[in-house]
Amino acid sequence: MSETPLCIGSIIRLKQEFEERYIVLHRHTFPQVLERIRRSNISDYTIFLKDGILFSHMIYDGDDYQGDMAAIGTDSTTREWWKLTDSMQEPVSESKEGEWWAGLELWFEYEPNSPAIDNPVRLAYTVSTPFPLGDFPSDFVNEDEKHPMFNGIYRIRIFRKGQHLYIYIETSLISGVFPLLSAIKSSLHLNEWPEPMTEVFHTDQRQPLPEMIQKKVFVTGCFDMLHSGHIAFLLEAATYGDLYVSIGSDANVEHLKGRFPVNSQEERKYMLDALSSVKECRINSGWGIIDFEKELRDIMPDFFVVNEDGHTPAKQALCKDMGIEYKVLKRIPHGDLPVRSTTALRTECTIPFRIDLAGGWLDQPFVSKYHPGPVLTVSIEPSIQFNERSGMASSTRRKAIELWRSEIPHADAEQLAKMLFSYENPPGTKEVAGSQDSLGIVLPGLNKLEYNGNYWPEKIQSVYDEGILTWIEKSLYLVTLGPRISSYSVLSNTKITAEGAAALSQAAQDCWSAILKKDIRAFGESFRKSFEAQVNMFPNMVDEDIMNTLKAYQDKAWGWKLSGAGGGGYLILVSHEPIEGAMQIRIRRKNNF
């Protein structure tokens, strides 16, 4: 133990969208994390929140500060905790280079002549000064006089960073705080009253409140080939209360994804029931996308929790009808652990997906024979677990994995795309997959594929400009609709005409021009017109449910379309502002090839 304990104050910014989750997590801090803090000689560690700023106060009472902090940093459980919390935070603008929590100057400290308190009330306040301050006023405290402003006050510490003050108080009488704050305001000539901060964490926290323990939390999914990504999601979901997991049956997984899970429904249930974070696991009795409705109504949870790539408007609407709070969690980076998905574990690979931005169907000769035109594609990094049968060229990607296993070879890109196209469409194939799928996967960046009545484009233009690719990434938002069912047929009831093909071609040309100019409104309008031209020729791309979902987002976006041939998959939106519950893609760059 050191002779003079070290008092440390620091601040960091909490991202607004994570505020509730941060508070819930810190009500349920891992016991091993608290134990590691204690063993590193830290006590009285409190975190307060106000207007997106987290203020921490702690006492270090050891002899080797650097060594004790290093012990926290190498603790495996603490590192798991940081994987949950780090992405919720960002350094404040005043931070030094490389600094995470910005250190504060302990500007003033005083312990009035009152006995120590066993269980003090901890309070924190923050205020900005109208001008830079020098030393703390020396006449604020008169050691010879017991001033009424210190009634019940045990400890006062004032930290500062620039013109921002953070006031930490320990007291036995809440009523004694007002005179103290009044004196501080007067002595420092403040224009505003110090504002209270909310305590969100303390090392001596009590057990969660009873109402939190009784909350029920519901999650659903396949949970095949259980991996670290599943575990992280379940651990975070369990912070909201008792966790009920409802898994898809083998038959319904095959119906939706076109393949049976690796592990049977009984095996998956057994593994999930064995997890300490899971209260109970059930097998869904329903069919289709909403196969969990009976289980949901039986359990009647307080929260329905999904990852952003598991969010669908249908789930959200069902929860609204049932009065269940719907939570969409963002996938949090796993630090030094690799990002995991069941798809990646089946074949660990970097082979991308693709999105067609405009002109889709012109790669089919039965469309472009009526009018030539371009298909615009972007190659997408497999950083998201895209659903099968969702219009992201997942079928072609599976063929690429069969052909090349884990990565695209380093060779002429167009020749590789021809190889993949031929492999996917051997002689005798009745319904030939368009070449935009193989080209869209193999060619990095943004590509304009010019078709004129043949399976292969006459001309290919590629864009690798970082500014344009980043602009596209920031402009596109994906909302999950669920995969197409196995019986889906887009080629029924087609109305392919020269007029329709010309409209599709023109929309794609306009989309290309808008992207090169980075004109978000023109991009959205041409994006939408391309989709409308597709639907006019292929009405089965949409149904009533899809159109209802689309209407719910029309006032949030400049344009919209469905991924691929429609019938499910993803609703892709063009917007200059974030769209709640939607995902964003990462385009594959040329230097990654």
- Check whether 214 has a pLDDT greater than 70: no
pLDDT of residue 115: 58
pLDDT of residue 591: 58
pLDDT of residue 346: 47
Residues 254 and 141 in one domain: no
- Residue where a domain stops, chosen among 270, 295, 329: 329
Q: Assign 235 to helix, strand or coil.
A: helix
- Check whether 179 has a pLDDT greater than 90: no
pLDDT of residue 14: 94
Question: Is 334 contained in some domain?
Answer: no
pLDDT of residue 183: 83
- Check whether 21 has a pLDDT greater than 70: yes
pLDDT band with cut points at 50, 70 and 90 for residue 316: confident
Residues 569 and 482 in one domain: yes
Residue type, 124: A
Residues 268 and 298 in one domain: yes
Residues 117 and 266 in one domain: no
pLDDT of residue 153: 79
Mean pLDDT for the stretch of residues 383-400: 81
pLDDT band with cut points at 50, 70 and 90 for residue 368: very high
pLDDT band with cut points at 50, 70 and 90 for residue 150: low
- Residue where a domain stops, chosen among 152, 167, 202: 202
pTM above 0.85, yes or no: no
Residues 588 and 548 in one domain: yes
The residue range of the domain holding 514 is 348-592
Dump pLDDT digits (tens) for 121-138: 889 999 998 887 788 887
- Based on the structure, what is the number of domains in the chain? 3
Residues 430 and 515 in one domain: yes
> What CATH number corresponds to the domain at position 493?
3.30.70.890
pLDDT band with cut points at 50, 70 and 90 for residue 208: very low
Instruction: Give the whole-angstrom CA distance, residue 305 versus residue 435.
Output: 38
Instruction: Give the whole-angstrom CA distance, residue 574 versus residue 586.
Output: 15
3-state per-residue secondary structure call for 199-252: EEEECCCCCCCHHHHHCEEEEEECCCCCCHHHHHHHHHHHCCCEEEEEECCHHH
> What CATH number corresponds to the domain at position 281?
3.40.50.620
Residues 40 and 189 in one domain: yes
pLDDT of residue 345: 44
Residues 479 and 353 in one domain: yes
pLDDT of residue 334: 44
Mean pLDDT for all residues in the chain: 86
Pairing mode, strands 353-358 and 303-307 = unpaired
Residue 443 tokens read as 């060619």
Question: Is 24 contained in some domain?
Answer: yes
pLDDT of residue 482: 64
pLDDT of residue 582: 86
- Residue where a domain stops, chosen among 280, 302, 329: 329
pLDDT of residue 176: 66
- Check whether 418 has a pLDDT greater than 80: yes
Question: Is 1 contained in some domain?
Answer: no
Q: Which of 268-272, 341-345, 406-410 has the highest mean pLDDT?
A: 268-272
pLDDT of residue 308: 76
pLDDT of residue 333: 43
Dump pLDDT digits (tens) for 295-310: 999 999 999 999 877 8
